[in-house]
A and B are shown apart, each in its own frame.
Chain A
Amino acid sequence: MSDSDSPQNAQAIPSADGSIPVRHGPYPEFTWTAVLVGWVIGALIAVSIGYAALILGFAIEGSELAAILGWGVLRGVMRRTSIVENNINQTIASAVNGASSGIMFSVPALFILSRSEGFESVANFNTPLMILACITGCVLGLAFVIPLRKQMIDFDRLAYPGGIAVATILKSPGAGVRKAVLLLGGALISGIAHVLVLSLMGEDHDWHAGSQFGLPAMLNLSLYLSVMTIGVGYLSGKGGFWFGCGGFICYFLLSPLLSQFGGEGVAAMVSSPNEMRGVLYKPLGIGMLVGAAVGGIVAAFPLIASAFKSMHAAGQQKDSGVNAYNDEMPIRFLYAAIGIGLLVMVMIAFKSVPEMTLGRAVTMAVLGTLWVWVAGVVVAECIGRTNWSPLSGMTLIAVTILILVAKGGLDSAATITSSMVVGAAICLAISQASDMMLDLKSGYLVGAIPRRQQWAQFIGAWLGPVIVISLMFLLNNQYQIGSDKLPAPQAQALASVTEGILNDNVPAYRYTAGAGLGLLLAMSGLGGIGVLIALGFYMPFQIALTYTIGNVLRIVSDKSLGTKFGHEVGIPIAAGLIVGEALVGVGNALYQVFFAAPETAETAMLGCQQLSRWM
């Protein structure tokens, strides 16, 4: 093969319109400015989103916000001119913010449980140990997921719709006026649409189309009114189509069959799709996710082994030549991080409660660390294929495993405390793993050096737990977590589930059945359908339906207008659709917190009702 094979052989660079000032010297990337601005922006976002999450019951994706704020501060205020520097700033800021959802979902459950009889002592957990656990979780999550970068981004080329949106924002200074207008247009459309939905429908964003057309309730034909979700579906493309299929299998196929041939209780339940999801489809979906992810790792083992082998080889080479692995973080550092992280986890589990034995602490730490790896892979792949993370499901399994290990030799209060301390670490690990992969995709698209981004993530990750746990204590002292002012719906849900696990109320048989089905799909060789169909079982069908509209739009536009149209026009608009709704979501959360005081409790209760449908 030679250059003569080329269909084109241009020898000159044609002139373009417009001019860009020429700069000389090194291209700023990993600078102190990026680090400091990243810490400040990350802290702001973590406090805002963490506070809002305690009141409203849901967390908002902070990556796009971090990119936009970084863009404004670095380019607008500080007059700096580097896309890859802003990428590092965004990586650090989103790493700091990674703690907000992870911690607010898990740790406040201890305050809520402490108000139940017999559990008063669970709120007296060791705070520095909890912060250390969360930081250790961050380190473990990153160390496990970084070696999978090559498989997920270079080999499988997962879409990471959120990563595309962030990269589109980062690249906007050079993308030309047309793309910037498309991005802003998309943001404006989705922002206005979201304002309308919020003002007309409040917290319930579902349009129950089926009931309006007189269709049976079991079909669950409702649309989640979110233009952002359509944008995400568009960015995922036809590859995400199986996500919707999972939902169709549940409600268009299984529910009608169950209404005729299912057990007595199930047949009576099919007309209540939310209950069907909570009791049957979601546990099966959680199991399927795990089975499909493990099967996917087995199927991709030659690729993963190849990546590891080359990373080892790169570490042994002393040349400074062009080796693709010189851009990667040293594999030995990651091994060391996992080893030290595991030892620290053992110490954390052992110190979590006075009654803890060393053997039990080792078991909890080892199983927890193994689960970090499995769940990190699951969540990173789900985010990569659909932009949705089954974080709550994975945390639920983690807490279940830990409680089952702990409760054999500890009383209930000690079991809860130790499980939550280690569980919080796992929750943070999973959250950091998915954020890292999303950021690495953005970095890939703007041409960042992976190793620098990976260091940036480590530099940002430690700060989040310190800030968010401090915030949590401040708010608990001021307003009491679990009160009307701070209902913390997610933590309420986890607290009730935790009590359920203590009473052996765990559908382990359905998780197991789901894992087998997930493995079956993973073995099919039809890339990634196992995880996608599992996510269709796990997620509300309304979201899957709306997301499918985006998939269809992408398929139609690629067929009729060509893939170039998709890249030039479709992607900037879709990225804008994500950005607009995310920004209005943050704005609305802050408005509810600071200006809608009389309705706060009511809003939060609506959030609770929403969450009970979603969890």
Chain B
Amino acid sequence: MTAAAKITALALADRAKRAAKVAAEFADQVDIEGRFPSEGMDALKSERLMGIMIRPELGGEGASLTEVADVCAILGQACAATAMTYAMHQIQIASLADYAVGSAWHEALQKRICDEQLLIASATSEAGIGGNLRNSLCAIEVDGDTARLTKDATVISYGADADAIMVTSRRHPDAAHSDQVATIFLKDQYTLEQTSKWDTLGMRGTCSDGYIFKAEAPSEQILPRPFAEIAAQSMLAVSHLLWGSLWYGIAADAAARAQSFVKAAARKSPGQVPPGALRLAEASSLLQLVKANVVAGLKQFEGCKGDSDALNAMSFSVAMNNVKIGTSQTILEIINHCMLICGIAGYKNGTPFSLGRHLRDAHSAQLMISNDRILGNTSTMLLVNKQDTSLLG
């Protein structure tokens, strides 16, 4: 058995836990320095977790989205920047694995991702467009077999550390803003001219700087399916589910810290229930709510997988949007509760109960594709779509 085969024979969750242990060790340092979480990401690569969703014929393990979500939740409890980097990479992998089927170039790339454990970034946000995934100003220009693209990308997470970037654009210079394609460009095919620095409140290790992205590559690297389809059927749902999973992880770790605080207090004064215990019970209930929301979303996604009618249904989009809204709002409430439980020990950095990083990282959740924007989309759909009132359906 080769070393790689030995590693992949272990359960995914066990491999994720080993990587998470490394990520946790460097989480505060990554946050303070606002640097790429290289130790955590290297650990994920040594555990060969980068290509798990890819089909086994191409060197992957054919892991389900639910399995990947579990990895994200485990990492979220350790280092949110590592978790977010991994989740965003997996969003690109999901699009590749399902929407580039039959394209020799993209299949060869998937093999390389598995062999070399490559990291894929994404550039959808654009100056003048913000977080509206389904809109592009920039257009790809195809000239014979060559495609050229320039994009004023306001945010590309780990852009400088990625091996390839998936970039959205209009299909051609005369195309409507919503008539988009996605193209994968390899590191040696593009230049990144930095336009802004990612010095933020939280999620600092994702290094989501802004760049003028300029690339030239063979046109076969354009994904064969329209981006509209990829976005509706995969990218939005996968993003909300994987982000929700890692956000759950952040809140779960906060709750674990609060619980150990309460437990320590209880040990100190036997026979007395510590004051934070009631709040902990509340936090526990909210945490279960977030978990149930994500798990129900994953179940619905897996149930619809491969059925394009189901994935294109408005009710599916409404449900996935609701996963995003519900998780991103509730985690803040949970962490706030935990902060009240731990008091100054939670507010202070460098204690076993510190929650500053959790709170700051969690604040990105409602901005990452703004909740207002998502609520706007959902409210439009609810003008015609009936709310699903069944319990199990």
Task: Please say whether chains A and B are actual partners in one complex.
Answer: no
Measured CB to CB, the residues of A under 8 A from B are: none
